[in-house]
Amino acid sequence: MISITLIIVAITCIISFISFSNAKLMEDLIFYPPSITNSNQWYRFITSGFIHADVQHLAFNMFTLYFFGNSWETAYNNYLGLAKIWYVILYVGALVVSQIPSYIKNRNNYRYSSLGASGAVSAIVFSMILLMPWSTLYVFVLPVPAIIYAVLYLGYTIYMGKRGGDTINHDAHLWGAIFGIVFCIVLKPEVLSMFLEAITHPHFGGIE
């Protein structure tokens, strides 16, 4: 069965690698609020998710997406009809939704731009954590229950988003994660009761 995750990873890698040596392509695809405000270039909400700042940025996002995305396709296939179609809608929707707060704050900021798939990747990761809260994640080789990671990650993104001072779009991470959770609960409300049940019955293992 075809892997939607692998297709997204391949397309993102191809476009990102081309843009590394093509400044014009990078400029045309990057999330740049003034171009959206003044020229109605709304496509930038999506295209900015297919370019990255450098190889490290690309590798981190795509490795994360590869492992969590494949797990998503398998796990949610048991609960959703047309799961792969919903996966694409979730991913593309997260690219858009995760950037909306940044657009609102920077619609006329000519010094602001953003790029990368982090918002969409966060949506996939957190919708999987919703389904498997006690799965084991390895953070800097340390095993951490997914639900603990989720709480710490959200706390960190909220704090850094308010503090600012770096070049990372923490708002996109936060809103991508929230969108992923809400999307799957709306799509399949039973997921929430499954999550609450799982929280009260710890069962370690799963994604690593």
Q: Per-residue b/e over 77-116, b at no fewer than 16 CB within 10 Å?
A: eeebeebbebbeebbebbbbbbbeebbeebeeeeebbbbb
Residue of 50, 101, 67, 93 whose CA lies nearest to 184: 93
203 as an active site residue: the answer is no
Helices vs. strands in the chain: H and E counts, helices first: 11, 2
3 as an active site residue: the answer is no
How far apart CA 52 and CA 107 sit, in angstroms, is 21
| Catalytically annotated residue among 35, 114, 127, 173 | 173
What DSSP string runs through 113-172? -B--SHHHHHHHHHHHHHH-TT-EEEETTEEEEHHHHHHHHHHHHHHHHHH--SS--HHH
User: Hey, how many other C-beta atoms are within 10 angstroms of the C-beta on 195?
Assistant: 18
End-to-end CA distance of the chain: 23
H helix runs in 164-204, sequence order = 170-187, 190-199
| Catalytically annotated residue among 118, 122, 127, 135 | 118
Catalytic (active-site) positions: 118, 173
